[in-house]
Structure 1
Amino acid sequence: MAYDIPPDLAGMSLLEIAEAVSARKLPPVDKWKPDATSDSRMRIAADGTWYHDGSPITRPAMVRAFASLLWRDPADGQHYLVTPQYRQTIEVEDAAFMATDMRVDGDALAFRLNTDELIIAGADNPLRAEGDPDAPAIYLGVRHGCEARVDRSTWLQLAEFALSQGENLTVESQGATFSLVPAE
């Protein structure tokens, strides 16, 4: 089956974004509880590049397929690739995904990930700020405990939007309010 890249985020309405989000069918990795665990010999670098045995995975379709199997254990923070029979550890240097674009539509903030997935920030997909208040790292909850780090250009879009709303560097999306300043 051919993969259809979603249209440019700027050209989509919130309804179109919401429909694309709900149409995506993902494996139920949170329901699978395999006994067997091994090492995948895979790593997701801080810049979002996926590696296997030290070599980058250059096929976007492979990255999207593996990304659909990601789960992060809430007890120890370890990331896994999960199937019904196995779970394999995967090293994640920072975040499992990168948020590479953002769109404001009404009361919602929509983000495109490096895997072409669309995520609408809200209570189920919160934004959080970490690190230095002068240069924070912003993360977006994606699914199954995994997060996306907001890349620099998207952070600038987000900060510009926050400043247009007032001086306190907070944003709202789907009724939830998020600070873009790390807690001290």
Structure 2
Amino acid sequence: MTSKLAQLLAHYVSSHSPTERWQAGECGVGEFSIDAGGRWYHQGDEIKRLALVKLFASVLCREDGAYRLKTPSETCLVTVDASPFVIVAWHECQIAAQYGVAPTIICEDNLGRFWPICDTFPLYLDDYKGQQIPHLTLNYGLHARIDRNVFYQWVEIAELSEQNDIMLLRSAGKTFELT
């Protein structure tokens, strides 16, 4: 990653706990789950305090195909219906040029965190309810599904590849498939 892009990422991306360093045993604090809309639950009750959800998100990771909340002292499995996060808004980065980076799309997830679409956080297509839907790769093995309204807004600005009949989205000097 170029140092210019690294500076842009540092401006936008929230910090995450170093879960890869922690190897604690399983905890017994009950069942955690995240539904397809990105809502978090504990013991079947929705966790409505955004600050608490953000705290849990900062220690969420995916390892060996399983989602886990990890701290230095305990690890809890999390059931995820689809994607742990949903991209609900986006904007064109107004400061990318200041960092010497090509025009960049900044995604906002359902927790209000920002993610630039780039080599570090690329788009990819994956199945959601029987359809191929764009998802954004996040850090720590996590990902976010692109919400329908964001997808349709991107279709408006995407380029059609005449060769393959696919929609292409450009961000941070790279091209990503939408369909």
**Common fold, TM-score beyond 0.5?**
yes
Q: Which runs of 5+ in 2 are unaligned?
A: 1-7, 94-101
C-alpha deviation, 1:51, in angstroms:
0.7
Report the counterpart of residue 98 of structure 1 in structure 2. Answer: 86
- Counterpart CA distance in 2 for 1:72 and 1:99 is 18
Using the alignment, how far apart are the partners of 2:108 and 2:139 within structure 1? 14
Query: Structure 1 length normalisation: TM-score?
Result: 0.78
Distance 1:25 1:79 in 2: 18
Unpaired runs of 5+ in structure 1?
A: 1-16
Give the 5 Å matches for 1:95-134: 95-105=83-93, 107-131=103-127
2:168 to 161, 167, 170: 170
Residue type of the partner of 1:27?
Answer: S
Contact preservation (8 Å) 1:136, 1:180? no
Structure-1 separation of matches of 2:127 and 2:72: 36
Q: CA deviation at 1:43?
A: 0.5
1:33 aligns with 2:23: yes
**Which stretches of structure 1, 4 residues or more, deviate above 4 A after TM superposition?**
none
Distance 2:175 2:38 in 1: 27
For the 8 Å contact 2:15–2:58, the answer to whether it is kept is no
TM-score normalized with structure 2 length: 0.80
Number of matched residues?
A: 160
* CA positional deviation for 1:19: 5.5
Report the 3-state secondary structure (helix = DSSP H, G, I; strand = E; otherwise coil) of the residue aligned with 1:143: coil
Tell me, in whole angstroms, the C-alpha distance in 2 between the residues paired with 1:115 and 1:158: 21
Contact 1:102 1:157 in 2 (8 A): no
CA distance in 2, matches of 1:91, 1:100: 21
Identity over aligned residues, as a percent? Answer: 26
- AA of the residue aligned to 1:166: L
Secondary structure at 1:58 match in 2: coil
RMSD of aligned residue pairs (Cα, Å): 2.4
